[in-house]
Structure 1
Amino acid sequence: MHKVKLIVRRVNGSSMAGGYVCDLDLPFVPTVGMQFEKGGSTTLWETATGELKPAVEAVIYNIDEEEIVCLFTVGQELHCSFWTTLDYEALGEGCAELDYFRNGH
């Protein structure tokens, strides 16, 4: 099993508006371009206006945390309880998860 962190940046135009995170143990290493889906009554990428289908933009191995990080970007708020919400405005520069996007990944 591989320790994987999914990090989603939510943008509003060209500005970062917040984000989402989820920690998983997966039997495989994700790759760029891969899409994740979740079955059941709610979808992983559900929004107020439908469902998104974002692909993995970058895969990073964090040596310090011994985990694989997958980065996504969405333009709408997600409504699935699968995610832990990251409030970008409240966290400011101290959000380690969203720092992945600010550091050019």
Structure 2
Amino acid sequence: MFKILLAVRVVHHGVVQCGYSRELELPFVPTVGMRFEQGTSTTLWETTTQEELDPAIERVIYDLDEDIFVCLFTIPLQLAASFWQDLPKRNDGIVCGVMQYFRHMPIRK
């Protein structure tokens, strides 16, 4: 089994609004372009406006210090699903925690 961290940033009008994460163990290493779903009864990509997103993995990183594969996603709306852990919001511009993995990914407008 491989340790996997799903990291999501919400970007609206070129500004990071918030982020989410979830750590999993999977029998494989995810790849760029792969999509995740959660069966038929619930959705992990439902937004607070009841829309359902279908994002693909943008980048996969291996963190040597943490011994974990990190899958990065960017989405335009906040998520409502209880599957996700909210990341602490910071307004001081300091990159920390899970959001550090996005530091080499520009925000596309």
TM-score by length of 2: 0.87
- Unpaired runs of 5+ residues, structure 2, are none
The structure with the greater share of residues assigned to helix is 1
Q: How does 1:1-105 map to 2 (within 5 A)?
A: 1-47=1-47, 48-89=49-90, 92-104=93-105
Q: Structure 1 residues 2 and 54 mapped into 2: Cα distance closer, same or farther (>3 Å)?
A: same
1:43-100 deviations in Å (ceiling 9; x for gaps): 0100123100000000000011100000000110101000001133368525221111
- Tell whether the 8 Å contact from 1:88 to 1:95 is kept in structure 2 after alignment: no
- Unpaired runs of 5+ residues, structure 1, are none
TM-score by length of 1: 0.91
Q: RMSD in angstroms over aligned alpha carbons?
A: 1.8
The structure with the greater share of residues assigned to strand is 1
- The percentage of aligned residue pairs carrying the same residue is 50
Structure 1 residue ranges (4+ consecutive) displaced by more than 3 angstroms after TM superposition: none
